[in-house]
Amino acid sequence: MTQDPRHIHIRDFSYPLPDERIAKFPLAQRDQSKLLVYRHGDISQDTFAALPGYIPAGSLMIFNNTRVIQARLHFRKETGALIEVFCLEPLEPADYAQNFQQTGHSAWLCLVGNLKKWKDGTLSRTVQVRGHAVTLTATRGESHGTSHRVDFDWDDAAVSFADILEAFGELPIPPYLNRATQESDKTTYQTVYSKVKGSVAAPTAGLHFTPRVLDDLRRKGVDTEELTLHVGAGTFRPVKSEEIEGHEMHTEYISVARATVDKLIAHGGQAIAVGTTSVRTLESLYHIGQTLLRNPGAADADLHVSQWQPYDRPGTATATEALQAVADYMDRHDLPALHTSTQIIIAPGYDYKVVKAMITNFHQPQSTLLLLVSAFVGGDWRSIYDYALAHGFRFLSYGDSSLLIP
pLDDT tens readout for residues 5-35 = 999 999 999 999 999 999 999 999 999 999 9
In this structure, the strands spanning 60-64 and 271-274 are parallel
Percent share of the chain, pLDDT over 90:
91
Which residue intervals of the chain bear CATH 3.40.1780.10? 10-67+188-405
Residue 140 has pLDDT above 80, yes or no: yes
Summarize the confidence of residues 87-101 as an average pLDDT. Answer: 93
Summarize the confidence of residues 95-117 as an average pLDDT. Answer: 94
Q: How far apart are CA 37 and CA 116, in angstroms?
A: 48
Predicted pLDDT at 232: 84
Q: What is the mean pLDDT of the chain?
A: 95
Architecture of domain 10-67+188-405: 3-Layer(aba) Sandwich (3.40)
Residue 175 has pLDDT above 90, yes or no: no
Q: How far apart are CA 33 and CA 45, in angstroms?
A: 11
Predicted pLDDT at 357: 98
Predicted pLDDT at 376: 98
Q: What is the DSSP letter of 298?
A: -
What confidence tier does 238 reach under pLDDT thresholds 50, 70, 90? confident
Residue 233 has pLDDT above 80, yes or no: no
Predicted pLDDT at 2: 77
Question: pTM value?
Answer: 0.94
How far from the centroid of its chain's Cα atoms is residue 138's Cα? Answer: 27
Percent share of the chain, pLDDT over 70:
100
Number of neighbouring beta carbons within 10 Å of residue 45 = 16
Contact 67/166 with Cβ under 8 angstroms? no
Summarize the confidence of residues 193-215 as an average pLDDT. Answer: 96
Predicted pLDDT at 106: 97
Q: How far apart are CA 199 and CA 180, in angstroms?
A: 19
Q: How far apart are CA 342 and CA 126, in angstroms?
A: 37
Residue 38 has pLDDT above 90, yes or no: yes
